[in-house]
Homo-oligomer: A and B are copies of this chain.
Amino acid sequence: MAGLLLRGARLPDGQSANLAIRGGRIDAIGAELSAATDAETIDARGCLVLPGLVDGHAHLDKTLWGTPWHPHQAGPTLRERIDHERRVLSALALSPATQSARLVRHMVARGTTHVRTHVDVGPQVGLDHLHGVQRMRDAHRDWIDVQIVAFPQSGVMIQPDVLDLLDQAVLDGAEAIGGIDPIGIDGNLHGQLDAIFAIAMRRGCAIDIHLHDRGEAGALTIEKIAERTAVLGLRGRVSISHAFCLGMLEPARLEQMIALLLEHDIAIMSHAPAGGIPFPPLRLLAERGVRLFTGSDGVRDTWSPLNSGDMLERAFLLAYCSGWRRDAEIELALRMATHGGAQVMGLRDYGVAVGSVADLLLVPAETAAEAVAAHPLPRLVLKRGRIVAREGRSLLPPLH
């Protein structure tokens, strides 16, 4: 592959520099670089270079992206939304491969270079969503890296065959196993966690558990997750997504939770949920050293029409909904959408540095804080050194 020279880019520290890219990696960064004879030169016009955005929590298989507008009709409870989704998706008979491919085009256009997606596994859908998303992943591997969590959306212990399906999903290639509200959905805290952790041990995969249960139900679940993480030696391999409960505990109980998260190196995913749903005190957690990441969650699906799949806008929402105004705070939001997710996904050689993989995003902004505040649309996106999106449009061929 021929090289690329990004001329006149702005580094995160504000310095202007040229970036030489070769073999899919950042070969050099400096003021005086000139293009190799076979290198294409791109005038970065002072745009800020950021590492590719990492969407650490998506549901690619269930988006309605690219289909006619679907007015939201689900009831307000988690259980109603799960059941309603099953009915709508079954009626629409959409293909998870096609739907995930549609959404991935949008994500690539907005600068996402890596996505961890929770893919439904359960008695109604079997492994169809998994295999569909895997086909999409194979077809798009030059454009975006996709990591799959086998996700028991409808519950684990209260549904038949889910454990076998989850185990098979991991055997079939899912990199992580998910869980969902062991108390609220399954009514079986120890049962679900024992089963999930057993599969993770047997197959050597990571764990990422959806935890919407609030208050003390959520806190007890975190305690039990931490216990198993310790006993099974899975330190650093476990994530908890949402963890709304951390936004509603009294300070002493919250400190107990923080101590557990730190001791067992459990990461927390939050996307600043809509409408007054409590969410973890992110700045406090970050100050204490808890690993944080973020994601789009469901994009234009039966859960909500509002999420967009734009991780710069997501960082903006994290900052906005947290009441952050200072650069250091806004940079934390961006870090959750970049390095935080990269760490959880186990990416190597990620970031804007010599030797790193050239998964990069260029945006017209002076500082990282401005990139978040303005989340401007004109974006140049590189995947392993190749341009995959320009001016807010992916260069992927249209699907139909």
Contact = CB atoms under 8 A, between A and B. Distances in A.
Contacts of A373: 300, 305-306, 308
Contacts of A305: 325, 330, 369-370, 373
Interface in A215-260: none
Contact of A306 (B275, B276, B306, B316): B316
Interface string A366-378: 1101100110010
Nearest to A372: B306
A321 B321 contact: yes
Interface string A304-342: 111010000000110111111111001000000000000
Interface stretch (A38-46, A65-73, A116-124, A174-182): A65-73
A369 B71 contact: yes
A36 interface: no
Contact of A72 (B69, B304, B325, B366): B325
A392 interface: yes
A277 interface: yes
A15 to B, nearest CB: 15
A72 B370 CA distance: 11
A391 to B, nearest CB: 10
A274 B320 contact: yes
Interface string A273-293: 011110000000000000000
A275 B322 contact: yes
Given A305-B330, A374-B308, A323 B276 contact: yes
Q: Which size bracket describes the interface of A in this complex?
A: 35 or more
A304 B277 contact: no
Given A316-B306, A326-B71, A392-B377, A321 B370 contact: no
Contact of A69 (B274, B276, B366): B366
Contacts of A326: 71-73
Nearest to A370: B69
Given A69-B366, A305-B330, A275 B323 contact: yes
A308 B300 CA distance: 23
22 contacts: A69-B367, A69-B369, A71-B326, A71-B327, A71-B367, A71-B369, A72-B326, A74-B325, A274-B319, A274-B322, A274-B325, A275-B322, A275-B323, A275-B324, A276-B321, A276-B323, A277-B323, A304-B325, A306-B316, A306-B319, A306-B325, A317-B320
